[in-house]
């Protein structure tokens, strides 16, 4: 008799949360006991028993413990912070193709920043990395306690849409600062954040002759399975979970729903 064993990719493993950090009013970071075992840009499905699952990007580098930064917006994301143990399955999806490039510009808006944190810690200053990270207000910036370290590992530009009485940094949308990056033409650009931010960043990068082949977007869609079975996450003929979440702009630019 031949026995065929089929791996159950849906089955989460239970993990202890060993550290919790409140980042802002509605964003928190959790660290798990296990090693990251994943690359910047990939994601996991996190679950709370009896509630459900949510896809969340890896915020850690491959040599750290597994870390996630989550905005509390609904059923699952509002419960994770209260748990001592959560369900985890993954990693899923592809990663930023950082191996291919020596000069990288990463642009992150809002809660898009966790995979860029992962990238900064993965590269450890070994490549020329520029980071533009924008949030609505100073109190919406996450990982504030790491910014000095990020400045040692990258060329960091922090900006907010609206400052306050304690903010003496840059004010303006992330697109305003793209022109400050030297020799953009021969760089790769990794973009993650609200669709409108990515759309306007692409327009600006094209003005500076960055090749559509070297611009990468991380797309977000509602997901169920996370690995190409349920068909919930399609953009054109792609599944975001399996073909992405990271796509070359040249591959998706003709799909009308890319920036939705």
**Where do contacts with ligand FES occur on this chain (CB under 6 A)?**
223-226, 228-233, 239, 241
Q: To the nearest 10°, the Cα dihedral for 38, 234, 101, 160?
A: -90
Q: Which does 232 bind (CB under 5 to 8 A by kind): ligand FES, ligand FAD, none?
A: ligand FES
Which range in 2-10, 155-163, 214-222, 249-257 contacts ligand FAD by CB under 6 A? 214-222
Among 36, 38, 61, 77, binds ligand FAD (CB under 6 A): 77
Helix (H, G, I), strand (E, B) or coil at 206: helix
Nearer to ligand FES, 23 or 220 (CB): 220
Tell me the two tokens of residue 33. 């006991």
Q: Give the side-chain half-sphere CA count within 13 A for 221.
A: 29
Q: Which does 71 bind (CB under 5 to 8 A by kind): ligand FAD, ligand FES, none?
A: ligand FAD
Q: In sequence order, which residues have a C-beta less than 8 Å from that of residue 196 and are 6 or more positions away?
A: 259
Among 148, 222, 237, 256, binds ligand FAD (CB under 6 A): 222
Tell me the two tokens of residue 150. 């990020």
Nearer to ligand FAD, 210 or 244 (CB): 244
Among 54, 88, 173, 191, binds ligand FAD (CB under 6 A): 54
What is the DSSP secondary structure assignment for residue 12, as one 8-state letter? P
Nearer to ligand FES, 111 or 223 (CB): 223
CA 13 to chain centre: 22
Tell me the two tokens of residue 2. 């031949």
Nearer to ligand FES, 54 or 135 (CB): 54
């Amino acid at each position: 008799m031949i026995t065929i064993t089929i791996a159950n990719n849906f089955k989460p493993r239970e993990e202890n949360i060993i550290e919790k950090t409140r980042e802002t009013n509605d964003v928190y970071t959790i660290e798990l006991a296990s090693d990251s075992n994943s690359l910047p840009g990939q994601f996991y499905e996190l679950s709370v028993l009896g509630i459900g699952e949510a896809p969340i990007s890896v915020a850690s580098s491959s040599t750290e413990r597994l870390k996630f930064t989550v905005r509390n917006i609904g059923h699952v994301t509002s419960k994770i912070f209260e748990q001592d143990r959560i369900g985890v399955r993954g990693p899923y999806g592809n990663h930023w193709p950082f191996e291919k490039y020596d000069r990288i510009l990463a642009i992150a808006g809002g809660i898009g920043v966790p995979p860029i944190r992962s990238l900064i810690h993965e590269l450890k200053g070994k490549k020329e990395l520029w980071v533009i990270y924008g949030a609505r207000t100073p109190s919406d910036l996450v990982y504030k306690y790491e910014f000095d370290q990020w400045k040692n590992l990258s060329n960091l530009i922090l900006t907010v849409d609206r400052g306050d009485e304690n903010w003496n940094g840059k004010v303006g949308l992330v697109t305003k600062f793209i022109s400050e990056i030297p020799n953009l033409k021969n760089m790769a650009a990794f973009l993650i954040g609200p669709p409108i931010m990515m759309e306007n960043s692409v327009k600006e990068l094209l003005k500076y002759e960055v090749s559509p082949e070297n611009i990468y977007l991380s797309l977000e869609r509602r997901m169920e399975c996370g690995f190409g079975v349920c068909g919930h996450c399609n953009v054109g003929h792609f599944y975001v979970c399996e073909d992405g979440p990271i796509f070359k702009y040249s591959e998706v630019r003709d799909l009308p729903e890319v920036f939705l």
